[in-house]
Chain A
Amino acid sequence: MADGGTDPTRQVNEETLRALARSLGRLSAVETTSLFPATRQESLIVSLLDDHYPASIGEVRLEIRLFTNGEFHVAYAERYLGELRQCR
């Protein structure tokens, strides 16, 4: 276990996120998956194809964070007429 953690039971659940990235990456609605990108080091980012959305909506994505203490966060984001909208 790495030193310096405030809660050693709370690590990023990397293997589950890797498995999720593989499974989600095969879905027809998914454009790309990105695991731990430079500015989201705990997250799996899932970009969805915007074919099913109105033309005013783009950059649709899910952000998933999972931890080994069972904690998880899921956020949805889309760009609507250029404005970022999100919920979590």
Chain B
Amino acid sequence: MSTVVGSISDEGSGPPEGSIAEEFATALEDQPADERVYRVALQLTEPARVAVVAERVDCAVDTARRHLRRLVDIGVLRQDGTEPATFSRNESYFEWRKRNRLANLSESELQDRLSTLANRIETFRERYDASEPAAVDALEHTDHVDIETVWQDLSEWQTVRERIERIEAVRRDRAGNAGVA
């Protein structure tokens, strides 16, 4: 570690300007069109027209349309409108993906995840002296930390609760299937 240091610019050896961004942009551009369409499709939280997707992907409109229809066929996207055709994420597909990933884990792996998530919940309960995120008044905690950090914690707390519910649902399904077998 240096003993005498000025500002970052004083040291004159910062990262090459734009190099990471340029390498990232090049890597994305080099992906095949179907992967580029998929990447954009993952971000279609609002219905988008084919031409808009084609522009974001930087491919021909017909190419974008072909890949978008394929993504509708396999359930990743849904087609919201026909004149003009618009597409958006099919959230039920992504929920299924999450459950499917969990279903492929062993019981001990699920237990490990539950344990990690339960520890995180306990951290939040102690930090905010509350049983659930909805019971926390964010403004009461801004003397210690900034409000954005509190909101971030409450968001993560809610996400952890949902992950636990999802794991429990997968375990119930598994137990039910074992009972049937």
Whether A70 pairs with B16 at a CB distance below 8 angstroms is no
B26 closest partner in A (C-beta):
A27
Is B158 part of the binding interface, using a Cβ–Cβ cutoff of 8 Å?
A: yes
Number of A-B contacts (CB under 8 A): 105
Whether A41 pairs with B156 at a CB distance below 8 angstroms is yes
Residues in A neighbouring B33, C-beta threshold 8 A: none
- Given that A52-B16, A54-B11 are known contacts, is A4 also in contact with B161, CB under 8 Å in the complex? yes
Residues in A neighbouring B8, C-beta threshold 8 A: 54, 57
Whether B24 pairs with A27 at a CB distance below 8 angstroms is yes
- Given that A11-B91, A27-B20, A68-B91 are known contacts, is A5 also in contact with B5, CB under 8 Å in the complex? no
- Given that A1-B91, A13-B43, A14-B98 are known contacts, is A52 also in contact with B161, CB under 8 Å in the complex? no
Interface string of B24-40 (1 = CB under 8 A from A): 10011000000000110
Task: Kindly identify which residue among B11, B24, B117 contacts A23, using a CB–CB cutoff of 8 Å.
Answer: B24
| Minimum Cβ distance to chain B for residue A21 (Å) | 12
Whether B97 pairs with A15 at a CB distance below 8 angstroms is yes
Whether B42 pairs with A15 at a CB distance below 8 angstroms is yes
Residues in B neighbouring A5, C-beta threshold 8 A: 158, 162
Is B100 part of the binding interface, using a Cβ–Cβ cutoff of 8 Å?
A: no
Task: Kindly identify which residue among B15, B43, B159 contacts A42, using a CB–CB cutoff of 8 Å.
Answer: B159
Residues in B neighbouring A19, C-beta threshold 8 A: 38-39, 42
Whether B42 pairs with A16 at a CB distance below 8 angstroms is yes
Whether A4 pairs with B162 at a CB distance below 8 angstroms is yes
Is A77 part of the binding interface, using a Cβ–Cβ cutoff of 8 Å?
A: no
Interface string of A1-39 (1 = CB under 8 A from B): 111111001011111100100011011110000000011
| Minimum Cβ distance to chain A for residue B96 (Å) | 11
7 A–B contacts, CB within 8 A, in A order = A5-B158, A5-B162, A11-B91, A13-B42, A54-B5, A55-B2, A56-B2
Interface residues of B (CB under 8 A from A): 1-2, 5, 8, 11, 13-16, 19-20, 23-24, 27-28, 38-39, 42-43, 45-46, 89, 91-92, 94-95, 97-98, 116-117, 119-120, 123, 133-134, 148, 152, 155-156, 158-163, 165-166
Beyond the given pairs A4-B162, A13-B43, 14 more chain A to chain B contacts, judged by CB atoms under 8 angstroms and listed by A's residue number, are A2-B161, A4-B165, A6-B134, A11-B159, A14-B97, A15-B94, A26-B27, A27-B20, A29-B19, A39-B123, A41-B160, A70-B45, A81-B1, A81-B2
